Amino acid sequence: MNRKDDHLKFALDSMSKKNGFDEYMLEYISIPSFGLNDIDTRTKIGEVVFEYPFFINSITGGSEKGDKINKDLEYVSEKTGIFLFPGSYSPFLNKEEVSYPKNQGVNLGIDKPVNLHLEAISKTNAKFLQVHVNLIQEIVMPEGERNFETWESNLKDILSTVKIPVILKETGFGMGRGSFIKAKELGVKILDISGKGGTNFAQIENRRRNKEKKYYEEIGYYTTESLEIAKEFKDDFEIIASGGIRHPLDVVKALALGAKAVGISKTFLEILEVNGRDALIDTINTWKEDIRNIMLLTDSKNIEELRGKIRR
Ligand code: FNR
């Protein structure tokens, strides 16, 4: 079985026991000042408007199984109008015909030089570039990367060359103050802090080889911690939250903590794998409705009004 298929398999039976969102409660207001139809759920990342403040976040492609998942997610995205950020473009590099979804996001690692990012963008006509960082995964994998000297200069080149919005994206270990400061120095404007609380790639890699280097699973920041730290940087970045989002209440809590949009990988992958693409469409439609309902419960007419209506 190839590595990407292993990741899919082990991701499905791995879930963090702790989830930072459980430590927070929304500010419930018993007497709303408007009706459900008055609520505006729209948000904006870069100049792109999202009708609802959540999206399908990167899940791998580039194997037969991964390609099938991407096809299904593309279908779900079309039917629901929810944006899709597919998984890494790397298996498609240097290929003529690519089965990667078009006109959505495109995802590639920070280890790749800018010319490959440009290739990925032009082949997919993407609206966003997600540049992912997966340091802990590289370190835990025996076959992982050992040289990281090019990461900063690759990112600088990407930011100065790429014309579409660039998102620097973690992959489930979160970002703390040090990462925010560095991202700011390098000129990043949009961050997906993708924190702990859901998929844990150290755990997935440990399972793949039956090694119990469990201590690597304990490094990083919970999504909620990253969101708290990000408040200090609210004028520097547009913040996207992901990592451990289980249901619409987590989405609304992330927005109340300052995120502009929220990404979901594992929860949607599981529904797709267990119950199929129509079930995922139903789920997403339910989430849309429930996000609106929960906004009403906090007397918030729009995402801006939700900010800060949360307590620990
Ligand atoms: C991922 N993730 C990921 N991220 C990325 O930037 N590029 C990628 O190719 C992949 N591939 C991938 C495969 C699988 C099977 C999973 C489950 C996840 C990471 C993902 O986008 C996200 O950052 C983390 O999974 C945390 O979010 P969840 O899963 O807790 O919602």
Which carries the bigger pLDDT value, residue 2 or residue 169?
Answer: 169
Alpha carbon of 130 to ligand 1 centroid (Å): 12
d(CA 104, CA 263): 14
pLDDT digits (tens, 9 = 90+) for 206-254: 888 876 788 999 999 999 999 999 999 999 999 999 999 999 999 999 9
pLDDT of residue 17: 84
The question of ipTM being above 0.90 is answered as yes
Angle at 196 (CA atoms; ends 132, 44), nearest 5 degrees: 55
Q: What average pLDDT does range 104-131 have in this prediction?
A: 98
pLDDT at residue 2 is higher than 80: no
Alpha carbon of 57 to ligand 1 centroid (Å): 7
Q: What average pLDDT does range 87-99 have in this prediction?
A: 94
pLDDT of residue 63: 86
Alpha carbon of 90 to ligand 1 centroid (Å): 14
pLDDT of residue 1: 60
d(CA 299, CA 302): 9
pLDDT of residue 103: 96
To which H or E segment does residue 311 belong? strand 310-311
d(CA 247, CA 261): 14
Q: How far is CA 34 from the centre of its chain?
A: 32
Q: What average pLDDT does range 88-96 have in this prediction?
A: 95
Alpha carbon of 34 to ligand 1 centroid (Å): 38
Which atom of ligand 1 is least distant from the CA of 244?
A: 30
- The range of the structural domain enclosing residue 240 comes to 3-311
Which atom of ligand 1 is least distant from the CA of 57?
A: 21
pLDDT digits (tens, 9 = 90+) for 143-163: 999 999 999 999 999 999 999
- Beta bridge mates, 106: 129
Alpha carbon of 58 to ligand 1 centroid (Å): 5
Question: What CATH number is attached to the domain comprising 102?
Answer: 3.20.20.70
d(CA 303, CA 41): 7
d(CA 216, CA 180): 21
| 29 among annotated binding-site residues | no
Which atom of ligand 1 is least distant from the CA of 198?
A: 30
Residue 103: other Cβ atoms inside 10 A: 11
Q: What mean pLDDT, rounded, does the chain reach?
A: 95
From the list 156, 175, 266, 258, the residue with the least C-alpha distance to 219 is 175
Which atom of ligand 1 is least distant from the CA of 194?
A: 23
Alpha carbon of 155 to ligand 1 centroid (Å): 20
| 112 among annotated binding-site residues | no
> Which among 57, 88, 90, 269 is the best mutation to test ligand 1's pocket, defined by most ligand atoms within 8 Å of the CB?
57
| CA-closest residue to ligand 1 atom 27 | 243
Q: 139 falls in which pLDDT band (50, 70, 90)? A: very high
pTM of the model: 0.97
Which atom of ligand 1 is least distant from the CA of 266?
A: 29
pLDDT at residue 168 is higher than 80: yes
Contact 22, 255 (CB under 8 A): no
Alpha carbon of 217 to ligand 1 centroid (Å): 15
| CA-closest residue to ligand 1 atom 12 | 59
d(CA 209, CA 200): 15
Number of domains in the chain: 1
Q: What average pLDDT does range 72-88 have in this prediction?
A: 97
Q: 4 falls in which pLDDT band (50, 70, 90)? A: confident
Q: 129 falls in which pLDDT band (50, 70, 90)? A: very high
| 102 among annotated binding-site residues | no
Which residues does ligand 1 sit against, CB inside 6 Å? 7-8, 11, 57-60, 87-88, 107, 130, 132, 169, 171-172, 194, 198-199, 242-245, 264-267, 269
| Three-class secondary structure assignment of 148-181 | CCCHHHHHHHHHHHCCCCEEEECCCCCCCHHHHH
d(CA 86, CA 102): 10
pLDDT of residue 9: 85
pLDDT at residue 294 is higher than 90: yes
| CA-closest residue to ligand 1 atom 26 | 243
